[in-house]
Amino acid sequence: IYEYHFFENYETHETNLSLYDLQGRQVMNQRLDMRNQIFLGDLSEGIYVLNLSNDFGNQTMKIKIN
């Protein structure tokens, strides 16, 4: 489970998550909820590019899944 902290007042705005492998394939795309958590247990180990976006902007980061 990955906990995210993203933009002020995100709870009043729709936040979308997109996750890509290093080959650029989208492996996850979902709308986030108020729990501040996403389940990543079904993904293979490796490095992924995580993009979060809402009305305040975009945030992109690399994450490692062990």
Largest CA distance in the chain: 33
Q: What predicted TM-score, i.e. pTM, was given to this entire model?
A: 0.75
* Mean pLDDT confidence for 4-31: 79
Give per-residue pLDDT as tens, 31-63: 887 666 788 888 999 999 999 888 888 999 999
What are 3's strand-pairing partners?
37
46-54 and 57-65 strand pairing: antiparallel
SS in 3 state form for 24-55? CCEEEEEECCCCCEECCCCCCCEEEEEEEEEC
